[in-house]
């Protein structure tokens, strides 16, 4: 906590990223290192998320997107997948009142409608309860793959062209983005990946074209406020040129 206080003094509150995205990685390896079952790492990761959501809210970050479950994660053992689903249900039920009280709005990206009914019902309830909140948007990216998102967006756009709703000459970057899950969010300014892995893992591929990337060896369950603040501090020292020249 003391380190977090020292770090926040270094942060320029006028240069806070609007949208931070996090690949919550390393839960299983964290658990294995401690001699625990993998699901224990996922539960510890949920605790880490609570701390990071609170810190993002205090920093007045507009949106936090967290990669909770990818469409490729279905390849994992059924017991682990079921445990993750139960954890998600528990997290939403337990945290939604606190999130609502703190003016945080819940949003979902991905094919979450395909999840078990009890999960979908709780997601809809959580979205409905927080839909009018004006603070941090917590975008939980669930049952998601970026390539699939882009393909689905192309299909929807082609359908609109065939039905005469969209002129093919009007298609540009901005028209295409209206068909993405994140159409109501700005592109991420900062993408954080814990656990030492140096890859994107099919996460928001379109949206992170000019996003600043930040990697750390820390496993997600050990990721604290001071780590987030360090990432924001490092982000603020970078110059974003978007393909242009240094001013």
Taking only the tens place, the pLDDT of each residue in 69-82 is 999 999 998 988 99
pLDDT for residue 240: 83
How many other C-beta atoms can be found within 10 angstroms of the C-beta atom of residue 131?
Answer: 11
| Token pair of 246 as six digits | 């240094």
pLDDT for residue 9: 83
Confidence check: pLDDT of 243 > 80: no
The Cα 135–Cα 62 span in angstroms is 7
CA dihedral sign of residues 149, 152, 158, 159:
negative
| Chain mean pLDDT for the chain | 94
In tens, the pLDDT along 8-44 reads 888 999 999 999 999 999 999 999 999 999 999 999 9
Instruction: Give yes or no for a contact between 103 and 135, defined as CB atoms under 8 angstroms apart.
Output: yes
Write the burial class of residue 26 (CB in 10 Å: 0-12 exposed, 13-18 middle, 19+ buried).
buried
Q: Radius of gyration over alpha carbons of the chain, in Å?
A: 19
Superfamily of domain 16-145+187-236: Decaprenyl diphosphate synthase-like (3.40.1180.10)
pLDDT level of residue 245 (50, 70, 90 thresholds): low
Of the candidates 156, 157, 163, 145, the residue with the CA atom closest to the CA atom of residue 206: 145
Do the strands 105-109 and 137-144 form a parallel or antiparallel pair, or are they unpaired? parallel
Any residues with CB less than 8 A from the CB of 111 and at least 6 apart, and which? 71, 143, 144, 148
Q: Higher confidence at residue 112 or residue 4?
A: 112
pTM score of the predicted model: 0.94
Mean pLDDT in residue range 210-232: 97
> What amino acid positions are annotated as catalytic residues?
25, 73
Which residues pair with residue 63 across a beta bridge? 19, 137
Mean pLDDT in residue range 177-196: 98
pLDDT for residue 34: 97
In tens, the pLDDT along 130-184 reads 999 999 999 999 999 999 999 999 999 999 999 999 999 999 999 999 999 999 9
Confidence check: pLDDT of 231 > 90: yes
Q: Higher confidence at residue 3 or residue 96?
A: 96
Confidence check: pLDDT of 1 > 70: no
Residue 113 DSSP code: G
**Domain edges within the chain:** 16-145+187-236
Confidence check: pLDDT of 2 > 60: no
In tens, the pLDDT along 50-64 reads 999 999 999 999 999
pLDDT level of residue 204 (50, 70, 90 thresholds): very high
């Amino acid at each position: 906590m003391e380190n977090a206080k020292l770090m926040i003094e270094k942060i320029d509150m006028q240069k806070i990223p609007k949208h931070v995205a996090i690949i919550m990685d390393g839960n299983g390896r964290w658990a294995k290192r401690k001699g625990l079952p993998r699901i224990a790492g996922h539960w510890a990761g949920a605790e880490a998320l609570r701390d990071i959501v609170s810190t993002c809210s205090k920093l007045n970050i507009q949106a936090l997107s967290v990669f909770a479950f990818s469409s490729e994660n279905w390849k994992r053992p059924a017991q682990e997948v079921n445990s993750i689903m139960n954890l998600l249900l528990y997290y939403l039920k337990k945290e939604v009142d606190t999130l609502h009280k703190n003016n945080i709005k819940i949003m979902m990206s991905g094919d979450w409608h395909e999840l078990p009914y009890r999960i979908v019902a709780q997601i809809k309830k959580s979205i409905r309860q927080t839909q009018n909140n004006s603070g941090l948007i917590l975008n939980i990216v669930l049952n998601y793959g970026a390539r699939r998102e882009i393909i689905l967006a192309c299909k929807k756009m082609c359908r609109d062209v065939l039905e005469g709703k969209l002129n093919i000459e009007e298609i540009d970057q901005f028209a295409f983005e209206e068909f993405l899950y994140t159409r109501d969010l700005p592109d991420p300014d900062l993408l954080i990946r814990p656990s030492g892995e140096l890859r994107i893992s099919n996460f928001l591929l379109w949206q992170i074209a000019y996003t600043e990337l930040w990697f750390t060896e820390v496993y997600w369950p050990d990721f604290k406020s001071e780590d987030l603040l360090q990432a924001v501090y490092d982000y603020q020292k970078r110059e974003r040129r978007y393909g242009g020249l240094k001013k």
